[in-house]
Amino acid sequence: MTAPRLAVIAGDGLLPELVLRAAGPDTVLVRLEGGAEGAAVSREDDLGAAHRVIARVEQLGALFDALRGHDVRQVVMAGAMQRPHVDPALLDATTAKIMPDLMAAMAGGDDALLRMVIGIFERQGFAVRGVHEIVADLTLPNGRLCGPAPSEGDRRDAARGRSILSALGPADVGQGAVVAGGLCLGLETAQGTDAMLEFVAGTRGQVARASGGVFVKRAKPGQDLRVDMPAIGPLTVEAAVRAGLHGICIQTGAVLVLDRAKVLSRADEAGVAIWAEP
Amino acid sequence: MTAPRLAVIAGDGLLPELVLRAAGPDTVLVRLEGGAEGAAVSREDDLGAAHRVIARVEQLGALFDALRGHDVRQVVMAGAMQRPHVDPALLDATTAKIMPDLMAAMAGGDDALLRMVIGIFERQGFAVRGVHEIVADLTLPNGRLCGPAPSEGDRRDAARGRSILSALGPADVGQGAVVAGGLCLGLETAQGTDAMLEFVAGTRGQVARASGGVFVKRAKPGQDLRVDMPAIGPLTVEAAVRAGLHGICIQTGAVLVLDRAKVLSRADEAGVAIWAEP
């Protein structure tokens, strides 16, 4: 008996390929046309998937039919996705019915929107999986991955970052914070991690007594890890180095470490500690 | 019978002068030497005060003696103050005793530090007042001060900003947030309001569907308004304009509007709404 067929709804970055490689050649690749700028998806890159479905966010009915045609029973969303532009002229009946709720959810935070997307697939009879359930070793166990041992001050900064993110959790804003010498120098907003770390790099000189510091990245409290899992990668390490930080503290089992080999070598080279805490 | 004599502990900006003008010529002006960069305070500018005390943060015992010598019964801290550098060689006995607690508080957020400073003055027998208790009309009543009427979307953005700041309150981080189209684009950190608004101006183009937006400025929940009251001024309006915002929503009775004439004219000219909500 083979496993129920999986469809990968592919966003940007390295994750879709990692998932396809782990899930095997029997997997269905779904590409969404439209997207943030309304641009058409490149149809060339099938990432080795045997089956491919091109879908539009306005025509979810057609997507569900195509998935059922391929006997898909479970889906995984892999890679970063922008909030899509929606062309009302293209709506099919299935999508038109859920669009008012979807538009309302889009006005809120990421979580509200993504919870709704999960619910839409589930109500259509598809199981929704998380990338970390399919690809082994994407997240970290407790403890240090690389770099020097964090100092007591680094650990205090990490603890303060955790408590700030925990307080911010119910507001559904961001997954990252920078704390240096007890002072919060950055909180992740809709512009994302890189923009925040660049902000810290450019402005930390204005704050006396804030040397070193730690970037803390965690899932939001209660966040559904099946979509929009927090992630770090080689660019995160580069940005942390430019921001003058001592370390990156991520949540055990809940934050993806992408392109781990490059992350390790760059962090070791720059002397940036990366460790995981529950 | 005259009112108990007041001392103004003067920081940066326009507030010390406003307080002195409102409190009358019998007031004592206190200038702190040292400060963030260890620079000496200019001794020239007495702002019309009849009495002046030059103090060092390391020698609070001398400051308390000098205040008692002037028969001061109440103090007000006016204007922005940087976290001071402390030269251990200069500590007097009074200050040495409280320094360990003070250093611990300095490692935390602003609130913890400022609550401690209030406590220090109170334990020495001085009443601590807030600038808004001394200068009339520094804060706003409910409603619109200037600019166009905020749209329904602006009001929704303001409400989301309020709820984000309310969630963040216990973490003692910042007093400001920018929300546009429901998305949080900026959260104030130790670098302050201007740095955050500049960040929003420089990065908001990365976020689709986030047009307009509102800067929300409030006291932290439970914040003692006798120190570090949140404030906006003409530069805030300029920065909000550069960040492409529609409005500034401040907390009724709890946020100082400095240089109100300039704030009004600049906001009306730029079409930025300024209003207060409880």
Give the mean pLDDT of chain B.
Answer: 88
pLDDT confidence of residue A100: 83
pLDDT, one tens digit per residue, over A192-229 is 999 999 999 999 998 877 889 999 999 988 888 887 78
**Strand, helix or coil at B63?**
helix
> Could you tell me how many CB contacts below 8 A there are between chain A and chain B?
101
Which secondary-structure segment (H or E) carries B193?
A: helix B193-203
Q: Do A208 and B37 touch (CB under 8 A)?
A: yes
Q: Do A174 and B184 touch (CB under 8 A)?
A: yes
Residues of A in contact with B186 (CB under 8 A): 189
> Is the CB of A265 inside 8 Å of chain B's CB atoms?
no
To test the contact with chain A by mutation, choose from B178, B183, B204 the residue with the greatest count of A C-beta atoms within 10 A, namely B183
Half-sphere exposure of B97 (CA within 13 A, CB side): 5
CA distances to A5, A11, A19, A25, A76 from A8, in Å: 10, 9, 8, 12, 5
Report how far residue B226's alpha carbon sits from residue B130's, in angstroms, rounded to the nearest whole number.
Answer: 4
CA-based max dimension of chain A: 64
To which residue do tokens 């909500």 refer?
B277
Q: Which of A86-95, A125-134, A202-211 has the largest mean confidence?
A: A125-134
Q: Nearest by CB to B107, which of A164, A181, A199?
A: A181
pLDDT, one tens digit per residue, over B140-187 is 999 999 999 999 999 999 999 999 999 998 888 889 999 999 999 999
Percentage of chain B with pLDDT > 90? Answer: 56
To test the contact with chain B by mutation, choose from A152, A185, A187 the residue with the greatest count of B C-beta atoms within 10 A, namely A187
pLDDT surpassing 50 at residue B77: yes
To test the contact with chain B by mutation, choose from A152, A156, A189, A198 the residue with the greatest count of B C-beta atoms within 10 A, namely A189
Is B206 in contact with B183 (CB distance < 8 Å)? no
Q: Which residues contact B65 (CB under 8 A, 6 or more apart)?
A: none
Name the pLDDT band for A102 (thresholds 50, 70, 90): confident
> Is the CB of A230 inside 8 Å of chain B's CB atoms?
no
Report how far residue B150's alpha carbon sits from residue B275's, in angstroms, rounded to the nearest whole number.
Answer: 8
Residues of A in contact with B102 (CB under 8 A): none
To which residue do tokens 């469809």 refer?
A7
Q: What is the interface pTM, i.e. ipTM, of the complex?
A: 0.81
Q: Nearest by CB to B83, which of A37, A83, A209?
A: A209
pLDDT, one tens digit per residue, over A104-124 is 777 666 667 778 888 989 999
Q: Is A20 left (phi over 0), alpha (psi -120 to 50) or beta?
A: alpha
Mean pLDDT of A129-141: 91
Q: Do A185 and B186 touch (CB under 8 A)?
A: no
Report how far residue A141's alpha carbon sits from residue A278's, in angstroms, rounded to the nearest whole number.
Answer: 9
Name the pLDDT band for A1 (thresholds 50, 70, 90): very low
Looking at the DSSP bridge assignments, the partners of residue A51 are A28
Mean pLDDT of A35-62: 69
pTM for the whole structure? 0.82
